[in-house]
Chain A
Amino acid sequence: MPCRAGDVEQMLWNFVWKSAYHDSVTLMRLTRDLEAVPGVGRAAAMMGTPQNRALLKDAGLLGPDGEAASPNDLLIAVAADDEASARAAEAAVRTALTARPAPGDRHTAARPRSLDSALRVLPDATLALISVPGLYAGAEARKALAAGLHVMLFSDNVPIETEVELKRLAIARDLFLMGPDCGTAILNGVPLGFANAVPRGRIGIAAASGTGLQEVACLFAAAGEGISHAIGVGGRDLSDAVGGLMMERALAALARDPATEVVCVIGKPPGPSVARRLETLARTLGKPCVVHFVGGAEALPAAGGVIEERHGFAEVLRASGGVWGAISGPPMSLEDAARAAVALARGEAFTSVEFTAPAPEIDRLVGDATRGQAVSQRFVRGVYSGGTLAWEAHGLLAATLGEVAPGVTGGGAGHRVVDLGEDVFTVGRPHPMIDGTVRREWIEKDGADPSTSVLLLDVVLGYGAHPDPAGELLPAIEAARHRARAAGCRLAVVASVCGTTDDPQPRAAQVARLNAAGVIVMPSNAQAARLAARVAAKAGRG
Chain B
Amino acid sequence: VTAAAGRRGGPLLGGDTRVITLGLELFAHTCAAVGIPVVHVDWTPPAGGDPRLADLLSRVTDETPCRSSS
Contact = CB atoms under 8 A, between A and B. Distances in A.
Contacts of A374: none
B8 A125 contact: yes
A320 interface: no
Contacts of A110: 39
Given A122-B37, A150-B12, A143 B61 contact: yes
Contacts of A114: 41, 43, 46
B49 A118 contact: no
A477 B39 CA distance: 39
Most B-side CB within 10 Å, residue of A106, A147, A229, A463: A147
Contacts of A231: 12
Contacts of B28: 107-108
Interface residues of B, number: 61
Contacts of A136: 45-46, 51, 54
A147 B5 contact: yes
Interface in A18-60: 19, 21, 23-26, 47, 49
A108 B26 CA distance: 11
Contact of A131 (B24, B31, B39, B62): B24
A107 B39 contact: yes
Contact of A119 (B3, B13, B51, B63): B3
Most B-side CB within 10 Å, residue of A138, A146, A253: A146
B20 A154 contact: no
Interface of B: 1-34, 36-46, 48-49, 51, 54-55, 57-59, 61-63, 66-70
Interface residues of A, number: 80
Contacts of A124: 8, 18
B32 A106 contact: yes
Contacts of B13: 187-188, 228-229, 253-254, 256-257
Contacts of A19: 44
Given A117-B41, A128-B21, A140-B43, 9 more contacts: A25-B24, A115-B20, A116-B1, A116-B3, A125-B9, A127-B17, A174-B70, A190-B36, A228-B13
B22 A190 contact: no
A149 B1 CA distance: 12
